[in-house]
C-alpha cells in the first residue's frame, strides 16, 4: 500500500479519497476549508493537513480534484504548495478539469523538480465518484502513468492513457463537447413530446431502446420530467468547461458551432438563477421560453 495525499474534498474528491483509504492506502487530505478535511479524517480514519505542502510531504502519490486553473496552481505552487513538499520521483495526479495551458505549465514545473505530473480528468459525476465508477482519461509520461494506474483503480470504472501530457485534458474536452449536444438534443425531444401531447415517459421507453439511447437519456429523463435539477454536475461548472473547450478550439482551429450555441443556452439558465442546477436544466430553459 502507498502513502497518498488528496487535495480537494468536494462532492467528487471526498468520496474518491474515501475509496483510496478503504483500499488500504495511508491517505492524508487537504481542503481549503479545514473543517471539511477534519470531518473527512474523522469519518474515514485518515489524516488531515493544514497546507498542500504538509499533505504532500512524504507521499508517493498526490491527487488533486479542485475547481479551476487558479485553484490548481494554488495547491501546486508556492511555499505552501504540494510541489514544495513532494520528493523526487513522486507522482502528482490531477483530476481537475483545467486548461491545456495550465497542464503544460505545471508539467514543466514538476519536471524541473523531478516530479512526475499526470493529467487525469474524470467523467461520471458525483454518482460515479461515490460508486467507484469513474472514467479517467490520462495524459503524461508512460512510466508515470504505469505507476499511477493501479493506485487509481479504487474509484475507476475505466482508466486509460490517451497520450503525452495534456492528452487527458483534451479528451475531457471531447467528453464535455459530446455531452453538451446530447443534453440539448434530449431536452428538445422531451419538449417536443410535451408540445405534441405525448407521454414523455412512454416516448423515452421506446426511443431509448434504439439509436437515440444514451446515458443522459437513461439517467436524466425522469428527473427532467419531474422538474428536479439537483442531480449532478452544475451549470456553472459546465460553462467553465465549455469555455475551456471553445478557447482551445480557437487555438487549434476546431469548429464547435453546437458547443458554442449550447454554452449560450447554459448562460440563459444562469440568468434564470440556475447556476447550481445540473446540466439537464436545459430542458427547464425550453419550458420557460416555450
Q: Tens digit of pLDDT for each residue in 121-150?
A: 999 989 999 999 999 999 999 999 999 999
Output the pLDDT for position 227: 96
Q: Tens digit of pLDDT for each residue in 172-214?
A: 999 999 999 999 999 999 999 999 999 999 999 999 999 999 9
Output the pLDDT for position 70: 97
Domain segments of the chain as ranges: 3-165, 170-289
CATH code matching the domain that covers 170-289, chosen among 1.10.1040.10, 3.40.190.10, 1.10.600.10, 1.10.3720.10: 1.10.1040.10
Average pLDDT over residues 261-286: 97
Q: Is 164 helix (H, G, I), strand (E, B) or coil?
A: coil
Q: Which of 36, 172, 240, 267 is catalytic?
A: 172
Q: What percent of the chain has pLDDT over 70?
A: 100
Is 22 a known active-site residue? Answer: no
pTM of the model: 0.93
* Same fold yes or no, 3-165 and 170-289: no
Please state which architecture CATH assigns to domain 3-165.
3-Layer(aba) Sandwich (3.40)
Average pLDDT, the chain: 97
Average pLDDT over residues 47-75: 98
Task: Say what angle helices 215-225 and 167-195 make with each other, to 10 degrees.
Answer: 50
pLDDT at 232 > cutoff 90: no
Output the pLDDT for position 277: 97
Output the pLDDT for position 231: 80
Amino acid at each position: 500500500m502507498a502513502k497518498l495525499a488528496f487535495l480537494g474534498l468536494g462532492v467528487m474528491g471526498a468520496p474518491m479519497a474515501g475509496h483510496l483509504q478503504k483500499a488500504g492506502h495511508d491517505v492524508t487530505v487537504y481542503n481549503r476549508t479545514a473543517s471539511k478535511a477534519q470531518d473527512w479524517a474523522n469519518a474515514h480514519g485518515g489524516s488531515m493537513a493544514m497546507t498542500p505542502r504538509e499533505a504532500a510531504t512524504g507521499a508517493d502519490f498526490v491527487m488533486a480534484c479542485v475547481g479551476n486553473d487558479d485553484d490548481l496552481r494554488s495547491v501546486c505552487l508556492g511555499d505552501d504548495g504540494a510541489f514544495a513538499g513532494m520528493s523526487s520521483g513522486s507522482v502528482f495526479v490531477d483530476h481537475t478539469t483545467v486548461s491545456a495551458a495550465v497542464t503544460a505549465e505545471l508539467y514543466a514545473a514538476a519536471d524541473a523538480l523531478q516530479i512526475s505530473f499526470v493529467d487525469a480528468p474524470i467523467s461520471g459525476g458525483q454518482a460515479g465518484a461515490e460508486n467507484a465508477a469513474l472514467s479517467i482519461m490520462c495524459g503524461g509520461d508512460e512510466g508515470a502513468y504505469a505507476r499511477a494506474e493501479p493506485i487509481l483503480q479504487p474509484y475507476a470504472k475505466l482508466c486509460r492513457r490517451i497520450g503525452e501530457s495534456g492528452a487527458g485534458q483534451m479528451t475531457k474536452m471531447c467528453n464535455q463537447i459530446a455531452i453538451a449536444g446530447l443534453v440539448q438534443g434530449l431536452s428538445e425531444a422531451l419538449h417536443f413530446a410535451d408540445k405534441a401531447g405525448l407521454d414523455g415517459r412512454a416516448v423515452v421507453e421506446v426511443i431509448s431502446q434504439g439509436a437515440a439511447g444514451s446515458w443522459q437519456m437513461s439517467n436524466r429523463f425522469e428527473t427532467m420530467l419531474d422538474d428536479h435539477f439537483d442531480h449532478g454536475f452544475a451549470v456553472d461548472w459546465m460553462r467553465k468547461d465549455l469555455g475551456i473547450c471553445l478557447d482551445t478550439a480557437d487555438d487549434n482551429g476546431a469548429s464547435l458551432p453546437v458547443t458554442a450555441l449550447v454554452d449560450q443556452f447554459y448562460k440563459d439558465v444562469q440568468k434564470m438563477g440556475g447556476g447550481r442546477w445540473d446540466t439537464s436544466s436545459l430542458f427547464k430553459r425550453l419550458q420557460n421560453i416555450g
